[in-house]
Structure 1
Amino acid sequence: MSWKDYLYFQKQDRNAIILLLFLIVLCGGGFIITKLVKDKNIPALNEDYITEFDTFQSRLKTIEAEENQTHSDKTYTQSYPEYARQEKLNSGEIIELNKADTTDLKKIPGIGTGFANRIVKYRNLLGGYASINQLKEVWGVDDDLFDKITPYIVLQGKPNQIAINKADFGQLNKHPYISYKQAKVILDIRDRKGNIESINRLTLLEEFTENDINRLKDYISFD
């Protein structure tokens, strides 16, 4: 065996040796550089400067905290404004149902914005209330709420009426008490037989029940 045989390595062994040598050189270089840096005459920072810098940082943090708190307070105030509490009617005080606006209706104990809007909207569709009992037809008004609010309500005057012999299909069908089919029948009778003279004529039609007639009698005229 010659001395060359001792220097022969397989490919994997050669790669491992090269890597090892690279690491040795790298570590040695790092050590030398660190040694040179430590040996240099680097003056220490002035202690007074360090103290002033720390004081400046502390003051800056205090100012930022105060600004954040002020911004937070403003945001809270703007997001949650205070509203005046809605005054409610006392016992014995009343409002007129067909003249009251939503602000008046909200004074009734148990009535909020939602119910006030629905009551007014349904009143406009009807042309006015003919009976306080019609409030039960407003969505959400059950018997308990009805009994609670009626002591504060009075009803005066008569609702607006539809001229049944002059109104067109849209005007008839718009009313809550007249269905699409009923509006078509009214127009058909007018076209074939002329004006409808009284509500008794409607009682002869199968499209109108007794309940329909009772609800409509306050809302139609035969002029």
Structure 2
Amino acid sequence: MFFIIITLQLVYCLMDFNPIHQTSSQEQHWISLQNKLDSTKAVNPKQEYKEYSYNPNFISDFKAYKLGMTLPQINRLRAFRELNKFANSPEEFQAVTGISDSLLEAMAPNFKFPDWVNNPRSSSYPKSKWKEFPKKETLKILDINQASKEDLMKVFGIGDAISDRILKQKEIFGGFVSMDQMTDIWGLTPEVIAEIDKYFIIESLTKIKKININTASIKELGQFYYFKYPISKNIVTYRSMNGDIKIEDLSNIKGFPVDKLKIIALYLEF
């Protein structure tokens, strides 16, 4: 028994019970490739890469990180660019990003800023190339009754057709007595009327041909823009029954356009 125990212990100590590992052909291939790489590194311990110039304002996050910039520094540069601002020198780039002096010294040799940064007085475009736009003509304030077609068309919003309507309306009245009459012209918007009021006024009414409301016949009254046959007839009837019409009597005449009374009165004689 003692002899058996001693024999088993010797076998346990002397025998290798680990599984035998057989190297496959694929593993042998990779090992040989690794050996070639190691030998190449031994011959060329450091491979040099050519650095290209770049505008640091447009550096990508990946390249910035690869060059050694931290995430907060990259975020500061991005926020600066979102404000549509540019760093125009290595010093400004450092002030914006907060990179260290050593990192700036490593990066700055490859910085490339636009030519106009280095030569602010130079321009790639000859002076003669720049187009000079004519200055907007300053309109003088004119009497609307003296305005020509060209004068009217200088106002923003008045074209060929509307200017003709204004002149036609002036011809019908024999002249305007109030700028409020622009509202009677078809096609004039409130915005355009406001522009007309900036440049035209009524200076004098002396040349306006007036109608004598106490002597004019129904036919003569009917030729006036604001009077149609029924109103003209009511005017003649009213004065035949009440005598001469005064300005304060106009609102008592049946059918009289009271909303235009102030304008109509300026065309009448009493």
Structure 1: gaps spanning 5 or more residues: 1-87
Partner of 2:159: 112
- 1:146-161 to structure 2, matched below 5 A, reads 146-158=193-205, 159-161=208-210
Q: With a CA cutoff of 8 Å and minimum separation of 6, indicate the structure with the bigger relative contact order.
A: 1
2: CA distance, partners of 1:102 / 1:175: 24
Deviation at residue 178 of structure 1 after TM alignment: 1.5
- What TM-score, normalized by structure 2, do the two folds share? 0.44
What do residues 25-81 of structure 1 show as CA deviations (whole Å, max 9, x unaligned)?
Answer: xxxxxxxxxxxxxxxxxxxxxxxxxxxxxxxxxxxxxxxxxxxxxxxxxxxxxxxxx
- 1:166-181 to structure 2, matched below 5 A, reads 166-181=215-230
Evaluate the alpha carbon distance shift between residue 89 and residue 95 of structure 1 in structure 2; reply closer, same or farther with a 3 A threshold: farther
Evaluate the alpha carbon distance shift between residue 90 and residue 151 of structure 1 in structure 2; reply closer, same or farther with a 3 A threshold: farther
RMSD: 2.6
Partner of 1:131: 178
Deviation at residue 194 of structure 1 after TM alignment: 7.1
SS at match of 1:98: helix
Amino acid in structure 1 at the alignment position of 2:180: N
Deviation at residue 211 of structure 1 after TM alignment: 1.6
Equivalent position to 2:231, from 182, 185, 195 = 182
Structure 2: gaps spanning 5 or more residues: 1-134
SS at match of 2:158: coil
Equivalent position to 2:246, from 190, 195, 198 = 198
User: Which one has the largest radius of gyration?
Assistant: 2
Evaluate the alpha carbon distance shift between residue 184 and residue 106 of structure 1 in structure 2; reply closer, same or farther with a 3 A threshold: same
Equivalent position to 2:142, from 87, 95, 98 = 95
Deviation at residue 217 of structure 1 after TM alignment: 1.4
Partner of 1:215: 263
2: CA distance, partners of 1:89 / 1:124: 30
Contact persistence 1:125–1:174 (CA under 8 A): no
Evaluate the alpha carbon distance shift between residue 108 and residue 185 of structure 1 in structure 2; reply closer, same or farther with a 3 A threshold: same
Deviation at residue 184 of structure 1 after TM alignment: 0.9
Deviation at residue 221 of structure 1 after TM alignment: 0.6
Deviation at residue 135 of structure 1 after TM alignment: 0.9
Partner of 2:99: none
Matched length: 135
1: CA distance, partners of 2:172 / 2:164: 12
